Amino acid sequence: MGKATPSHVVVMDSILSWNVRGLNGPNKQKEVKLLCNGENVGLVGLLETKLKKSRIAQVVENLFGGWESVNNIDYHYNGRIMVCWRPDYYNIVPLHLSAQAITCELKLLKPDTAKDVKVAMFSINKIKSPGPDGYGSGFFKTTWEIEIVFGFIKYLLTAAGTGGKCIHWKAECNTVNESFERLSSCGLGPNMIIYLMTNYNMSAANGSSILGIWTAFSNGLAILGAIIADSNLGRFRVVVIGSFSTLTGMIILWLTAIIPQLKFSPCSQFQHVCDGTTAVQHLVLFSSFGFISLGAGFIRSCSILFGADQLEEKENPENQKLIESYFNCYYASVGISIVLAVTVVTYIQDRYGWQVCFGVPVILMFISVLMFLIGSPFYVKVKAKESLFIGLLQAVVAAFRKRNSSLPLTDSCDDCYYRPCESELLAPSNDFRSLNRACMIQDPQRDLNPDGSASNPWSLCSVEHAESLKALIRVLPMWSTGFMIFVTARQFSFSVLQTKTMDRHIFPQFEVPAASFSVFMMIAFTIWINIYDSVLVSLLSKYTGWPGGPSPVIRMGTGLIFSCMSMVFSAITESVRRQRAIEEGHEEDPSAIVNMSAMWLVPQYALLGVAEAAHGVGQIEFFYSLFPKSMSSIASAMYTIGLLHRV
């Protein structure tokens, strides 16, 4: 008859803890020995041994020949506790012994393999108490296979140079969601103008205008997503809504390629009058654009900061450096996604037609939504407060109404300013002191209700709202510096026309498509972020004393310098190309191919990619550091709204 493992035994890989209730009998000793050998135990803690001092050495040798041990026989006449271990597996130093406990310092000499960890984890009953991180064994058993997928993603990022060091699994879910959204939406872009012209009978001008408006809405709706996230729904719900909205829009767009009635039917040679595209067909098409724009705006305004919420540990002195690494890692993954979108996804679309063309982004977006929702029960979800936008507007109105009022003579007047009970700010700052009137209490009997709340928020706002308004005003000048980078990037639409008139062959049998040269910008973008995070930060911190590398303001300035250099190279390249076109007699034929390699355009694309990487990451970190937590989504939205200048 087989022996069942006692219910009071807890086996964790090679560790055994057992209340044996006496170890003098040979049967009990045999039971302990068989269990240790059968479960490959290397560390044993035995309670209630009831051994005498004269027998301890003999029993240890009989059970665990060659093992080391420690006991508390000198503190308890029955020798209640004994710890034994394999000296080739563990190095154990007793720190404190008493009648009730033995405290030791343990060092593992042979690290466990992934298989060992899995065996140990799956041996723990799911009802056992969770660990210090708050997660029990049931969570890890359920998500074990999912972690394999995250491991693969981490491997890709390691290969790209990030080392995977900035990834926490909950931030990974968020990064995967954003990366797949970019991969899906950017994969639609390159061929969309052709789709509108061939399937909806649009001219190139009308199609370009529609796509420009679509892009503007996709970026402009980020501010709406940020306001809703910070004031009503919270970032998690906004990202979920955005993900489902994007997926819905892509499915509708896919259906327009599958169902013939949803697109323009070309006229046959026997028809003299064509009906053209109907209003219903346009409605279906534009509704898909609307859903995708809403989803993009909601996801891009909240996704990066929702990931940062998962890493927020104020008591950790390395937390700021971790968040900075996460920002770089996040943008690296987005850059990789865009490169894949304009190369691999576009190639699949060109080769297999429109149905596959739009089906691939649908599948990718479905995976994105699935990956994000898997971690839903375990995310850190920062709760939204009252409407931030209304609060900022109330601060402006209240300050204007009291513009003729005198400010308190002293800054230490605690009762002069209105702050709710949950407020962390005691008094407003001295920056933009005129706005302090918005939260200044003039007449407590008139301005405050009996419960201490403001009787009229449009005449008296809280200190937090006044400081939030100041923070917004404070970052506006730095925010405006990014406009020129985006305007510069917009000028590169001319580079596509340049490229079409140049020799685009890398090898005799391989010609790079003109529209694919933007890949060099994204490659430079990704390489810069990875090199900066893994190499430059450590070098600069060593020689400059900056622990996290240059400040966000310095990086933003560096981005502007690279942007100027990009335009210089662009001007030089166009001057050379134009001169050669004149020398070859192509003045009257602007579409003629000039005997000049299109690789001349690579430096300007690469420099612009570095400019966007340095300025973009620095700008979002600058916003994140200056804005209060309640405005963090607006930080991301302000960066995204700047992309409107590229339309």
pLDDT at 83: 92
pLDDT at 198: 77
Query: Following CA atoms 546, 548, 549, 553 in sequence, which dihedral angle do they give, to the nearest 10 degrees?
Result: -100
Tell whether domain 14-108 is in CATH 3.60.10.10. Answer: yes
Average pLDDT of the segment spanning 221-227: 79
Average pLDDT of the segment spanning 148-155: 46
pLDDT tens-digit readout, 76-105: 766 678 999 888 888 888 888 888 888 888
**Cα distance between residue 126 and residue 606, in whole Å:** 52
Of the candidates 334, 364, 308, 372, the one whose C-alpha atom is nearest the C-alpha of residue 162 is: 334
pLDDT at 527: 83
pLDDT at 251: 92
pLDDT tens-digit readout, 315-351: 555 556 666 667 666 766 776 777 777 777 766 766 7
- What average pLDDT is seen over the chain? 75
Average pLDDT of the segment spanning 570-578: 88
Better pLDDT: 619 or 410: 619
> In this model, does residue 605 exceed pLDDT 70?
yes
Q: Which range, 429-438, 449-458, 598-607, has the best average confidence (pLDDT)? A: 598-607
**Cα distance between residue 112 and residue 310, in whole Å:** 28
pLDDT at 8: 38
Burial class (CB in 10 A: 0-12, 13-18, 19+), 404: exposed
**Cα distance between residue 29 and residue 65, in whole Å:** 13
**Cα distance between residue 647 and residue 634, in whole Å:** 21
> In this model, does residue 152 exceed pLDDT 60?
no
Spell out the domain ranges in the chain. 14-108, 118-157, 168-267+275-381, 388-461, 475-646
Token reading at 355 = 């149905």
Q: Which pLDDT band holds residue 2 (cuts at 50, 70, 90)?
A: very low
Average pLDDT of the segment spanning 359-380: 80
> In this model, does residue 10 exceed pLDDT 60?
no
3-state SS, residue 477: helix
Model pTM score: 0.55
Q: Which pLDDT band holds residue 529 (cuts at 50, 70, 90)?
A: confident
- Angle value at C-alpha 214, between 210 and 215, nearest 5 degrees: 120
Token reading at 482 = 């990014």
Tell me which of 252-256, 498-502, 609-613 is least confident.
498-502
> In this model, does residue 560 exceed pLDDT 80?
yes
Phi, psi of 510 (to 5 degrees): -130, 120
pLDDT at 331: 67
Average pLDDT of the segment spanning 573-586: 87
Better pLDDT: 56 or 226: 56
Token reading at 96 = 């404190």
Q: Which range, 43-52, 378-387, 535-544, has the best average confidence (pLDDT)? A: 43-52
pLDDT at 153: 44
**Cα distance between residue 489 and residue 362, in whole Å:** 28
**Cα distance between residue 611 and residue 622, in whole Å:** 16
Burial class (CB in 10 A: 0-12, 13-18, 19+), 435: buried
Better pLDDT: 48 or 512: 48
pLDDT tens-digit readout, 473-519: 888 888 877 777 766 665 655 666 677 788 888 777 777 776 677 77
Q: Which pLDDT band holds residue 273 (cuts at 50, 70, 90)?
A: low
Token reading at 563 = 């942007």
Q: Please check whether residue 89 is in contact with residue 36, taking contact to mean a CB–CB distance below 8 angstroms.
A: no
Q: Which pLDDT band holds residue 643 (cuts at 50, 70, 90)?
A: low
**Residue 345 to residues 186, 189, 277, 354, Cα–Cα distance (Å):** 9, 10, 28, 12
H helices within 448-535, ranges in order? Answer: 463-480, 483-491, 493-500, 519-531
pLDDT at 48: 85
**Which residues are bridge partners to 262 per DSSP?**
none
Strand order in the sheet with 43-47: 10-12, 15-19, 43-47, 81-85, 68-71
Q: What's at 519, amino acid-wise?
A: V
pLDDT at 248: 92
DSSP symbol at 69? E
pLDDT at 422: 64
pLDDT at 30: 85
H helices within 161-277, ranges in order? Answer: 169-199, 204-228, 235-258
Phi, psi of 288 (to 5 degrees): -65, -40
Average pLDDT of the segment spanning 115-123: 71
Residue 112 gets the label, from left (phi > 0), alpha (psi -120 to 50) or beta, of beta
> CB 31: neighbour CB atoms within 10 A?
16
When computed from its CA atoms, the radius of gyration of the chain, rounded to whole angstroms, is 33
3-state SS, residue 360: helix
Better pLDDT: 469 or 274: 469
Tell me which of 281-290, 347-356, 583-592 is least confident.
347-356
Tell me which of 59-63, 191-195, 627-631 is least confident.
627-631
Task: Show Cβ contacts of residue 599 under 8 Å, excluding neighbours closer than 6 positions.
Answer: 506
Better pLDDT: 129 or 341: 341
Task: Show Cβ contacts of residue 395 under 8 Å, excluding neighbours closer than 6 positions.
Answer: 435, 438, 439, 461, 465, 466, 468, 469
Q: Is the dihedral of CA 132, 136, 137, 139 positive or negative?
A: negative
pLDDT at 155: 44
**Cα distance between residue 23 and residue 259, in whole Å:** 78
Q: Please check whether residue 627 is in contact with residue 614, taking contact to mean a CB–CB distance below 8 angstroms.
A: no
> In this model, does residue 452 exceed pLDDT 70?
yes
Average pLDDT of the segment spanning 32-53: 84
Q: Which pLDDT band holds residue 465 (cuts at 50, 70, 90)?
A: confident
Average pLDDT of the segment spanning 307-312: 70
3-state SS, residue 67: coil
**Residue 69 to residues 86, 87, 89, 104, Cα–Cα distance (Å):** 9, 10, 13, 11
Domains 14-108 and 168-267+275-381 equal at CATH topology level: no
**Cα distance between residue 437 and residue 428, in whole Å:** 10
Domain 168-267+275-381 carries which CATH code? Answer: 1.20.1250.20
Instruction: Report the share of the chain in percent with pLDDT over 90.
Output: 1
3-state SS, residue 413: coil
**Cα distance between residue 36 and residue 18, in whole Å:** 11
Tell me which of 234-238, 330-334, 391-395, 470-474 is least confident.
330-334
DSSP symbol at 107? E
